Amino acid sequence: MAILRAAAERGRANHGWLDSAHTFSFSSYHDPRHMGFGPLRVINDDRVIPGAGFDTHGHQNMEIVSYVLEGALAHRDSLGTGSVIRPGDVQRMSAGTGIRHSEFNHSQTDPVHFLQIWIIPDRAGYPPSYEQKYFGAAEKRGRLCLVASRDGRAGSVTLHQDVDMYATLLDGEDAAEFDLRGGRLAWLQVARGEVRVNGQVLNEGDGLAVDEPGRLRLEGAQTAEVLLFDMIGNGA
């Protein structure tokens, strides 16, 4: 079965400096029907005005992935990491036993648009850690590029959970296919543009939950950027 999570139905929070859409329950937005999907707990579609951002705050026992679509995001954390995340970069921060960090728009003139993704780890108590890698447009054009995985294969960032995260760019006649195995879950998130999944049109911000095995065919109805999560079925 494939269930649409329409962009317009997401929770919203607009703080002036931050405009955020919540695919799943987060902060003051609570909907018991949308508490996550498998181990996927948060997908926040965040836009931050120039020079603003999230002051230093803490996390524990969560795999946090940041995926920048436009602009640049500055990151600092209690591990001593200081970095700037730009389009093509995938940042993974394992909060583990505890980490503090801040995230700010790196620019004083341009907004930053990014997805922040939380994945529940397979157990609590990992040491906190950080990883960031770049995946160029050519690696994602018309194909599913593995950007995060449990074992870090194919140059992907590592996750403490049985989740494979793919990214693809689709233009016009581009298409990509994925075979979902039995006992697995898939979530597709349209980061930008418009895509057809097995003929069903998904627009920017839409998500699609899939819980049955079979082939998923993604076609770019317009220029599109899509994330696909292939996950363990029980969320453990």
In this prediction, residue 56 carries a pLDDT of 87
As a three-state string, the secondary structure of 78-126 is CCCCEEEECCCEEEEEECCCCEEEEEEECCCCCCEEEEEEEECCCCCCC
In this prediction, residue 234 carries a pLDDT of 64
Per-position pLDDT tens, the chain of length 236: 899 999 999 999 999 999 999 999 999 999 999 999 999 999 999 999 999 988 888 899 999 999 999 999 999 989 988 899 999 999 999 999 999 989 999 999 999 999 999 999 999 999 999 999 999 999 999 999 999 999 999 999 999 999 999 999 998 788 999 999 999 999 999 999 999 999 999 999 999 999 999 999 999 877 899 999 999 986 44
The position carrying tokens 């993704």 is 117
**Complete DSSP assignment for 15-65:** -SSEEEEESS-BTTB--TT-S-BTTEEEEEEEEE-TT-EEEEEEE-S-EEE
In this prediction, residue 235 carries a pLDDT of 42
Q: Is 199 helix (H, G, I), strand (E, B) or coil?
A: coil
Determine contact, residues 164/141, Cβ cutoff 8 Å.
no
Determine contact, residues 229/33, Cβ cutoff 8 Å.
no
Distance of CA 15 to the CA centre of its chain: 21
In this prediction, residue 172 carries a pLDDT of 79
Rounded Cα distance, 178 and 167, in Å:
12
In this prediction, residue 93 carries a pLDDT of 95
In this prediction, residue 143 carries a pLDDT of 96
pTM assigned to the model: 0.96
In this prediction, residue 236 carries a pLDDT of 40
Burial 164-189 (b: 16+ CB within 10 A, else e): bbbbbbbeeebebebebeeebbbbbb
Q: Is 192 helix (H, G, I), strand (E, B) or coil?
A: strand
Q: What percent of the chain has pLDDT over 90?
A: 89
- Cβ neighbours of residue 141 closer than 8 Å, sequence gap 6 or more: 168, 169, 171, 174
Domains, the chain, ordered by start: 11-134 (2.60.120.10), 137-232 (2.60.120.10)
Determine contact, residues 47/194, Cβ cutoff 8 Å.
no
Exposed/middle/buried for residue 106 (C-beta within 10 Å: 0-12, 13-18, 19+):
buried
In this prediction, residue 80 carries a pLDDT of 87
DSSP state of 141: B
In this prediction, residue 221 carries a pLDDT of 72
Determine contact, residues 68/135, Cβ cutoff 8 Å.
no
Rounded Cα distance, 126 and 137, in Å:
32
Return the H-helix or E-strand segment holding 140: helix 137-140
